[in-house]
Amino acid sequence: MPSEFTVDIKCDFVIPDFMDATVPLTQISEVVANDCRKNIRKSTDFETGSPLAKLARKTINDKKRLGYGGKPPLERTGVMLNAIHAYKVVNNVAVIGIISRGSPRRDMIGIYHQYLGVNKQTRVIRRFLGISPERWEKIKSRMDRWVAERLQKSSHKYLNLKV
């Protein structure tokens, strides 16, 4: 004798579109690049916000002699500030970096200041390029909003099964 037991299954599938996050990533990269420029202008470390190492007396004298007296580390003519760029490479990939311009090349100067240290004796490091802990929180918040928007705009697929 066949069973009279049947099950009606109704499923609502939410299918969000997480394939292209180019817009929020581009916005985030622009903000981080602006933060890096601000770190140079304010002469502060990107992570701690503490002041960058002071310039050597020789560098201060050279800047005065050349007419750039009073400028903070990493800022003389503005080439380094203008060399920091954020741009979209392909969908879902945004890059922040220092364009290789000027003589000496600003990307190489950035590497020395950021990682290797300037001055052969003291190896002074001035970290200006990076993401602060406060900025990380804002980035996470921005991506959470983007995910929520994608979920809200997601399409629904319905499946009805009778077994």
Residue 70 lies in a domain: yes
**What does the pLDDT read at residue 139?**
95
The total domain count for the chain is 1
Residue 146 lies in a domain: yes
Residue 75 lies in a domain: yes
Main-chain phi, psi angles of 150, to 5 degrees: -65, -40
Burial of 46 (0-12, 13-18, 19+ CB in 10 A): buried
Residue 1 lies in a domain: no
Residue 131 lies in a domain: yes
Look at the pTM and tell me if it is higher than 0.75: yes
Domain range enclosing 37: 8-162
Residue 100 lies in a domain: yes
Find, among 36, 46, 27, the residue nearest to 145 by Cα: 27
Distance CA 147, CA 17 (A): 9
Residue 102 lies in a domain: yes
pLDDT tens-digit profile, the chain (163 residues) = 566 777 888 887 777 788 889 999 999 999 999 999 999 888 888 888 888 888 888 888 888 888 887 778 878 777 888 889 998 999 999 999 888 887 888 888 888 887 887 777 778 888 888 899 999 999 999 999 999 998 888 877 777 777 7
Distance CA 85, CA 96 (A): 6
Residue 3 lies in a domain: no
**What does the pLDDT read at residue 3?**
66
